[in-house]
Amino acid sequence: MAIDHDILISGGGVAGLTAAALFGTAGFSVLLCDPTPPVTSGDDEAADLRTTALLQPARDLLEESGLWSRLAPHAAPLQVMRIVDAGGEIAEPRVSREFDASEITSGPFGWNLPNWLLRREMVARLSELDTVTFRPGIATTTLLTREREAIVGLDDGTRVRCRLVIAADGRTSPMREAAGISVSTRRYGQKALAFAVTHPPPHDNVSTEVHRTGGPFTLVPLPDRDGMPCSAVVWMEDGVEALRLATLPVPAFESAMMERSCGLFGPLTLATRRTLWPIITQVAERMSGERLALIAEAAHVVPPIGAQGLNMSLGDLRALRDLAVARPEGLGDRQMMETYHRSRHPEVKLRAAGIDALNRASQLSARPLRDLRAAGLSALYGAAPVRRMLMQMGLGARDAS
Ligand SMILES: Cc1cc2nc3c(=O)[nH]c(=O)nc-3n(C[C@H](O)[C@H](O)[C@H](O)COP(=O)(O)OP(=O)(O)OC[C@H]3O[C@@H](n4cnc5c(N)ncnc54)[C@H](O)[C@@H]3O)c2cc1C
């Protein structure tokens, strides 16, 4: 029987929407399904208030997907990364290190954008592509694969034949589970609060990460809001404390933020709702199965440190797209799926292990260990070659020499 689409993408989060734009632009016929229609306004109660810092290498891929020209006018550049240790007796900066993107590249490290806005622009891009069929409100339910094709059952009772299934259906990926691919998961008893704040001084395109206990408190630049400088905040804390903070009355929450940010941006005013995200590290045992490729959180979940999550996902997509374009007649076959797994899995495991170590260092609450962290930060970031290497790794460069 004839196939219905070259590619079925299960999951229309930011990763699945990007995948549809990328493969649709490359000329493949794509069906994208998601049971939850995308929320494309920041004022909607269900809006994803996280922001995504897209690092330099992401830009090329977004350009090739026809997305960058839509996103650029809304993007806040990230020129300087500042890391502050405030693990002493009182909440004040002890060690502060700044890394300027100009040390390694001509542009900024990357650009920050709200997730709801990414969704809005991505959905608009898909409507321009006659290669892409987007079916919001429809879930994938079953997966049957053979040597030559995959058959995916949808919850409206229909079945779709395709050559490649891309699972972009999140950390509990139904397509991954249907294929019987297991995951290893590390839990930290930790949650992240995500929201936006306004503050009196300008952020000057500096992203600031403050370490004390419980996890980092990170401010990432956003465009001005109501004429005030604005930043996105990710505040990681032990779970119980995070829940308490999430329900504090706003004035008490604002003074807790002022203390935790060491007053670096003056008084912080809460500009949005607070949303809570559980923090885990999770890596699938394989990146592929028969006629199936796992991408993004279906394949790897990492704590939100160093903006790695979606940027790793775009690395998955780049690898998949390059393989598909190099040998379109082999789309989804055993050779392509095996090459994809082997090209991505080692890097994904390495990055997940690195971010896990950073997160555990940031959670430390015992004083001597906190002192050690501050000394380490000071020594490590002092030497220029080490700084350059770390910054290049942050950008996803393979060769950090
Ligand atoms: C607080 C926080 C801050 C972050 N900041 C950054 C950052 O600055 N930079 C960065 O790179 N990353 C960041 N990340 C990570 C990034 O947000 C994620 O990697 C990314 O959003 C995950 O996208 P996803 O599309 O894989 O998953 P999801 O957004 O979970 O999307 C999965 C989709 O699959 C759908 N789905 C579920 N079941 C089915 C089904 N049966 N059929 C079809 N569809 C289905 C769901 O409805 C959902 O829309 C952050 C994460 C957190 C928690």
Q: What is the whole-number distance in angstroms between the Cα of residue 170 and the centre of ligand 1?
A: 6
Atom in ligand 1 nearest the alpha carbon of residue 277 = 53
DSSP notation for 6-37: EEEEE--SHHHHHHHHHHHHTT--EEEEESSP
Weakest mean pLDDT among 252-256, 262-266, 389-393: 389-393
Contact in structure between 191 and 239 (CB atoms under 8 Å): yes
Please tell me the total number of residues recorded for the chain in this structure.
401
Residue nearest to atom 4 of ligand 1 (CA): 304
For the chain, what is the total number of helices (H) and then of strands (E)?
A: 11, 20
Check pLDDT > 90 for residue 44.
no
Nearest Cα to Cα of residue 31 among 142, 166, 222: 166
With tokens 């409507």, the residue in question is 127
349 versus 391: the higher-pLDDT residue is 349
The finding on whether 307 has its CB within 6 A of some atom of ligand 1 is yes
Number of Cα atoms under 13 Å in the Cβ half of residue 96:
13
| 306 Cβ inside 6 Å of ligand 1 | no
Average pLDDT over residues 158-164: 98
Q: How far is the CA of 48 from the centre of ligand 1 (A)?
A: 10
Q: Say whether pLDDT at 14 is over 60.
A: yes
Cβ-based neighbours of 286, under 8 Å, separated by 6 or more: 181, 294, 341, 345
Report whether residue 296 contacts ligand 1, using a CB cutoff of 6 Å.
yes
What is the mean pLDDT of the segment spanning 44-73?
Answer: 90
Torsion over CA of 204, 207, 211 and 216, rounded to 10 degrees? 140
First-to-last CA distance in the chain? 51
- The whole-number average pLDDT for the span 136-162 is 97
Question: Is the Cβ–Cβ distance between 209 and 216 less than 8 Å?
Answer: yes
Neighbours of 258 (CB within 10 A): 17
pLDDT digits (tens, 9 = 90+) for 315-361: 999 999 999 999 999 999 999 999 999 999 999 999 899 888 888 87
Cβ pair 26, 207 in contact under 8 A:
no
Q: Is the CB of 294 under 6 A from ligand 1?
A: no
Q: What's the 91 CA to ligand 1 centre distance in angstroms?
A: 33
Average pLDDT of the chain, as a whole number: 89
Residue 386's pLDDT band, with cuts at 50, 70 and 90, is low
Instruction: Reply yes or no on whether the pLDDT at 172 is more than 90.
Output: yes
**pLDDT: which is higher, 78 or 33:** 33
| Both structure tokens of 80 | 């300087």
* Strand 288-289 with 292-294, pairing: antiparallel
CA–centroid distance, residue 13 to ligand 1 (Å)? 5
Specify the ligand 1 atom closest to the Cα of 174. Answer: 41
How far, in Å, is the centroid of ligand 1 from the Cα of 117?
14
Burial code of 334-365, b = ≥16 C-beta within 10 A, e = fewer? eebbebbbebbbebbeebbeebbebbebbbbe
pLDDT above 70 for 383: no
For residue 223, give the nearest of 108, 107, 72 by alpha carbon.
72
The pLDDT of residue 399 is above 50: no
The reported pLDDT for the residue numbered 103 is: 81
What would the pLDDT profile of 20-32 be if each residue is shown by its tens digit?
999 999 999 999 9
52 within ligand 1 shell (Cβ under 6 A): yes
Nearest-CA residue for ligand 1 atom 9 is 307
Asked whether 317 lines ligand 1 (CB < 6 A), one says no
What's the pLDDT at 372? 62
Q: Ligand 1 mean position to 259 CA, how many Å? A: 30
Average pLDDT on 167-175 reads 98
CA distances from 172 to 6, 38, 164, 316 (A): 24, 18, 20, 18
- For residue range 255-283, what is the model confidence (pLDDT) as tens digits? 999 999 989 999 999 999 999 999 999 99
Residue 308: φ, ψ to 5°: -90, -30
